[in-house]
Amino acid sequence: MECSSSSSSSSSSSASDEEDLMREIIINLLLASGVYSRYENVNIKTDWWETALFYQIYPRSFVDSDGDGIGDINGIISRMDYLKDLGVNAAWLSPIFKSPMYDFGYDISDYYTIQPEYGTLEDFEQLIKKANTLNIKIVLDFVPNHTSNESDWFIKSSNKDEYYSDWYVWENGHIDADGRRQPPNNWVSVFRKSAWTYSKTRDQFYLHQFSPAEPDLNYRNPVVAEEMKNIVKYWLEKGVAGMRLGSVNYLFETDKDTFGGRFPDEPKTGKPGAVSDDYDYLFHIYTKDQEETFDIVAQFRDVFDAMSVRNNFTRIMMTVARSPIKTTVRYYGDNYHSGAHIPVNTVLIDEMTSKELDARDLKHAIDLWISYMPLGKPANWVTGDHDTSRLATRFRPELVDAFNMLVLLLPGIAFTYMGEEIGMINGFVPWVETKDPQACNTNDPVNFIDVSRDPVRTPFQWNNGKNAGFSSAAKTWLPVAEGFESLNLEYQRNAVRSHYQVYRILSNLRIRPAFRLGRFESLAINQDVFAFKRWYNDDTYVIVMNLGKSYQIVNLTVFDLIFGQLEVEASSVQSSRSYSDNVLATYLDLSADEALVLRMQV
C-alpha cells in the first residue's frame, strides 16, 4: 500500500536513492536552520486563525494510553509533539463530553463533564497546558442541535418537569384509521426513518433530525439558547481557542404557529429509487436553514467576541452547514447578522463525488467557494472528516499529495483530518463489528457499507506493531485497517519519499507570504492537469498536478508572467523530481499523478 514504492514514468532527472537522501537532508537542514524565517520578516497583519492549519483529531481513534482499546486525552497529550512536527497550528477534537456513545460523542448527556473513558477534566487541563507550551490551539466540537436521550435535561423533559418541559420539540401525533399511533408528519431523519419517536413516559413524540438517541433541542425556548451559550462560555474560560458548531443548519424547524399550530409535511423530491424512509425522499424546507438560525448564530458569535475582547485573543467560532452554496456562505454573516469566523467549506467533498476526477471539476469546485464567499474573509479547505470516505479511497492513493498541496497551499485556512497526512485509506469493518448508527439503521448486512462511517474512523496507524501502535489492548474499538504494516507514520518517517515527508514540506511552505497573503489564480490546463499560481510581490509559485493516469506535457506560460525556469520546492511521491530541480515553464512533462510545487526563478 505504501505509495512511496510507486514507480514513475517521467523521463527527466531520474534521481538516485543517494540524491533523494541528500535532498531530504538538505530540506531537514533548511527547516531546522530557519532559512525559511526570512519570509517571516514580512509584516503580515493576520490574526492567528486566518491562515491556520487545523488538524482534526477523532479522539476515540488517535492514541489509547490506558490499554482499553479506545483513544483518550492522555494519548493525545503524548502525541502533541507530533502535531508540532507536522506544522499544525490548531487541533480540533471531535466531542469529548459525557455521552452514552450511541453516536460516538455526538449524543451528549452532559456538556460540562469529560467522557470518563477519554479521561478527566484534569487531563483536559493538562492537554491545554501542553498545547500552550507548543503554541498549538485547541478547538472543541460542540453539538448545539441535540443532546443525548440519556441527558438529565431530556429525562426531565420527558417527565414534563416544569422547567425542562419545553426544552425539546414535542408533538402529539395522531391515531390512524387502523387505530395505530402515527407520528405528527412525514419528516425523515438524516439517519433514515421517521424523525419522530414516541415517548411512553410523556405520551408524545419527540423530534430527532439524526438518531432517536439524539433529541433536537427547542431553540424557540430562549432558556435553551442561553444554556447553550453558557456551555460555550464555560469551555472558552477553560482556555479553548474556539468551538466548532456542527449541524447548525438544523437548529430550527419552521414556526408551526404560521401553519395553524401543526408542523406541515415536507414536499417529496420524486427522486428515483428513494423510499419514504430515505432522507432524500423529501425536500427539507421546514427543517433546515430556517431564517431564525442566522440570528442564533449571531448570538453565539457575540459570546466568542466578548471572550476575545476580554483576553485580547480571538476565540473562533466554526459552523458546519452542508447546504446549497448560497446558504452555506450566509454563515459568514451579512449586514444584519454577524456570522462564524469559519463556515466550514466542504465543496472539495460535496462537489467532487466521481472517482473519475477531472481538472475541470476541481477548478469548478474551488471557484464555486471563492465566487460565493464574501470578499475580504478567509477561505478554508477541507477534504476529509470523520463522516467522509477517506480521500485515498474516494479517489486513489496516488492523489494524496496533490490534495494535500491543494488544501495546504490554496488561500486561507487548511484542515487535515488525522491520517490524511500519511494517506490513510478506509478500513474494512464487517457488519458484525459495525458501530456507526447510520450504518446500523440500514438493517442491511450487505449495503450498510455504502453509508457506514466506521471505515474512516479506524485507529491511526502509528507503526507496524500491535494494533498499529494505537493501543496495547487485545481488541480495539474498531479494527485497524489492513495494510498498516507498510502504511504507517514510522515507515513514512524513515522513507526517503513519503506522504508524510511531502506534508511537512508543504506545511513549512505555507508560512511564506505568497501562501499566507498572496494572490491566487487557477487554470484547468487541460482535462487532466490542474494548476494554480500564488504570488506575493516578486515571490511566485505554480502548483501543478496531473490528475490523470497518463503522461502529459504542459506549457505553464499560459499563466500571466510565468516564464523561464522554475525550481521544484516539493514533489509528490510519484514524481522523479527532487527539491531544487529546474523545469522549463514552456515545456513541463508530468507523469501520471505527478504533483509539483514550483517557484519562479528571479
Shortest approach of ligand NOJ to residue 214 CB, angstroms?
5
* Distance between CA atoms of residues 571 and 505, nearest Å: 9
Rg (CA), the chain: 25
Shortest approach of ligand NOJ to residue 245 CB, angstroms?
10
* Distance between CA atoms of residues 14 and 147, nearest Å: 57
Q: How many angstroms separate the Cα of 354 from the Cα of each of 29, 207, 349?
A: 41, 34, 10
Q: Which is nearer to ligand NOJ, 2 or 387 (CB)?
A: 387
Q: Which is nearer to ligand NOJ, 437 or 518 (CB)?
A: 437
Contact 151, 108 (CB under 8 A): yes
Show Cβ contacts of residue 17 under 8 Å, excluding neighbours closer than 6 positions: 496
* Distance between CA atoms of residues 392 and 249, nearest Å: 29
* Distance between CA atoms of residues 516 and 258, nearest Å: 48
* Distance between CA atoms of residues 297 and 373, nearest Å: 17
Shortest approach of ligand NOJ to residue 104 CB, angstroms?
7
Shortest approach of ligand NOJ to residue 424 CB, angstroms?
18
* Distance between CA atoms of residues 509 and 515, nearest Å: 7
* Distance between CA atoms of residues 62 and 370, nearest Å: 33
* Distance between CA atoms of residues 258 and 263, nearest Å: 9
Alpha helix locations (H) across 418-577? 437-440, 489-494, 499-509, 513-516
* Distance between CA atoms of residues 546 and 564, nearest Å: 21
Q: Per residue, what are the HEC states of 118-147? A: HCCHHHHHHHHHHHHHCCCEEEEEECCCEC
Q: Is 106 in the site for ligand NOJ (CB under 6 A)?
A: yes
Shortest approach of ligand NOJ to residue 90 CB, angstroms?
18
Q: Which is nearer to ligand NOJ, 386 or 510 (CB)?
A: 386
Shortest approach of ligand NOJ to residue 141 CB, angstroms?
8
How many residues touch ligand NOJ (CB under 6 A)?
A: 9
Binding mask 405-444 for ligand NOJ (x = CB under 6 A): ----------------------------------------
Q: Which is nearer to ligand NOJ, 87 or 105 (CB)?
A: 105
Q: Which is nearer to ligand NOJ, 319 or 501 (CB)?
A: 319
Shortest approach of ligand NOJ to residue 130 CB, angstroms?
26
Residue from the set 210, 381, 500, 579 that interacts with ligand NOJ by CB under 6 A: 210
Helix 222-237, helix 291-311: angle, nearest 10: 30
Q: CB atoms < 10 A from the CB of 58, how many?
A: 23
Q: Which is nearer to ligand NOJ, 106 or 530 (CB)?
A: 106
Shortest approach of ligand NOJ to residue 470 CB, angstroms?
20
Residue from the set 56, 61, 157, 247 that interacts with ligand NOJ by CB under 6 A: 247
Residue nearest to ligand NOJ (CB): 106
* Distance between CA atoms of residues 399 and 356, nearest Å: 12
Shortest approach of ligand NOJ to residue 133 CB, angstroms?
30
Q: Restricting to residues 306-325, which ones interact with ligand NOJ according to CB under 6 A?
A: none
Residue with cell 458546519: 320
Q: Is 103 in the site for ligand NOJ (CB under 6 A)?
A: yes
Q: Pull the grid cell for residue 460.
A: 491511526
Q: Which is nearer to ligand NOJ, 209 or 578 (CB)?
A: 209
Shortest approach of ligand NOJ to residue 246 CB, angstroms?
4
Shortest approach of ligand NOJ to residue 288 CB, angstroms?
13
Please name which of 287, 127, 314, 320 lies closest in space to residue 207, comparing C-alpha atoms. Answer: 287
Show Cβ contacts of residue 392 under 8 Å, excluding neighbours closer than 6 positions: 399, 400, 423, 424, 425
Residue from the set 2, 266, 361, 387 that interacts with ligand NOJ by CB under 6 A: 387
Residue 298 parent element (H or E): helix 291-311
Q: Which is nearer to ligand NOJ, 249 or 501 (CB)?
A: 249
Q: Which is nearer to ligand NOJ, 99 or 540 (CB)?
A: 99
* Distance between CA atoms of residues 109 and 313, nearest Å: 30
CA 51, 53, 57 angle in degrees (round to 5)?
A: 150
Q: Which is nearer to ligand NOJ, 247 or 576 (CB)?
A: 247
* Distance between CA atoms of residues 184 and 166, nearest Å: 17
Q: Which is nearer to ligand NOJ, 405 or 456 (CB)?
A: 456
What is the side-by-side order of every strand in the sheet holding 595-600?
A: 519-524, 529-536, 539-546, 595-600, 565-571, 582-584
Residue with cell 503554541: 135
Shortest approach of ligand NOJ to residue 57 CB, angstroms?
14
Q: Restricting to residues 136-195, which ones interact with ligand NOJ according to CB under 6 A?
A: 143
336 phi, psi to nearest 5 deg: -105, -30
Q: Which is nearer to ligand NOJ, 189 or 204 (CB)?
A: 189
Sign of dihedral through CA atoms 419, 422, 423, 426? Answer: negative
Shortest approach of ligand NOJ to residue 386 CB, angstroms?
6
Binding mask 484-503 for ligand NOJ (x = CB under 6 A): --------------------
Q: Which is nearer to ligand NOJ, 244 or 497 (CB)?
A: 244
SS3 call for 104:
coil
Q: Which is nearer to ligand NOJ, 92 or 263 (CB)?
A: 92
Shortest approach of ligand NOJ to residue 555 CB, angstroms?
43
SS3 call for 114:
strand
Q: How many angstroms separate the Cα of 479 from the Cα of each of 397, 433, 436?
A: 21, 8, 13
Shortest approach of ligand NOJ to residue 391 CB, angstroms?
17
Q: Restricting to residues 114-143, which ones interact with ligand NOJ according to CB under 6 A?
A: 143
Q: Which is nearer to ligand NOJ, 214 or 361 (CB)?
A: 214
Site of interaction with ligand NOJ (CB under 6 A): 103, 106, 143, 210, 214, 246-247, 386-387
